[in-house]
């Protein structure tokens, strides 16, 4: 069970570690019981949105969670995009929803819908780091040491 308390949460930390043309998004929290600490990371390409956030976040960001739900052709509007990139109406209704484009290998329409949950938390512990500085930050160092440096290429 997850208990939610709204507002600012100083235990949640976000780190952005820049490595060449990518960055590691790392989110984690501290608790009074270190064995229960949890973190998440994802490696993403730098983008205009990333640069805009980096310059304008003002020391805080909202965290909202959402639920991804897979959707079939019958559950979406005609202009919804399939995972193959073509619209729902470009898939045959009678033949297992196969894509009608000859050059497409899609055998069945598949899409998803994101439903954002209403509650949000304000995160104020946000740090941008270069890879050479990760040892200065416990959250970033623990993540990279386990998921990058300990792996053999």
pLDDT in tens, 75-117: 888 888 888 999 898 988 876 789 899 899 988 888 888 889 9
Which of 64, 33, 25 is closest to 144 using CA atoms? Answer: 25
pLDDT at 1: 32
What does each C-alpha distance from 21 to 24, 46, 83, 105, 131 come to in angstroms?
A: 11, 6, 26, 31, 12
pLDDT at 26: 96
pLDDT at 125: 94
CA distance 118 to 108: 32
**pLDDT over 90 (residue 15):** yes
| pTM beyond cutoff 0.95 | no
Tokens of 109: 């329409």
pLDDT at 9: 63
**SS3 label, residue 7:** strand
Domain boundaries, the chain: 7-65+119-149, 66-116
CA distance 107 to 109: 7
């Amino acid at each position: 069970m997850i208990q939610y308390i709204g507002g600012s949460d100083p235990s949640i930390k976000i780190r952005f570690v820049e490595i060449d043309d990518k960055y590691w998004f790392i989110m984690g929290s501290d608790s009074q019981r270190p064995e229960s600490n949890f973190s998440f990371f994802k490696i993403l390409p730098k983008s205009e949105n990333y640069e805009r956030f980096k310059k304008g976040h003002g020391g805080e960001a909202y965290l909202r969670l959402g639920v991804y739900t897979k959707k079939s052709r019958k559950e979406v509007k005609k202009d919804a995009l399939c995972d193959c990139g073509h619209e729902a109406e470009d898939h045959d209704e009678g033949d297992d929803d196969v894509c009608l484009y000859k050059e497409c290998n899609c055998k069945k329409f598949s899409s998803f819908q994101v439903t954002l949950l209403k509650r949000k938390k304000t995160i104020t512990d946000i740090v941008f780091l270069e890879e050479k500085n990760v040892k200065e930050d416990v959250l970033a160092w623990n993540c990279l040491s386990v998921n990058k440096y300990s792996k053999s290429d």
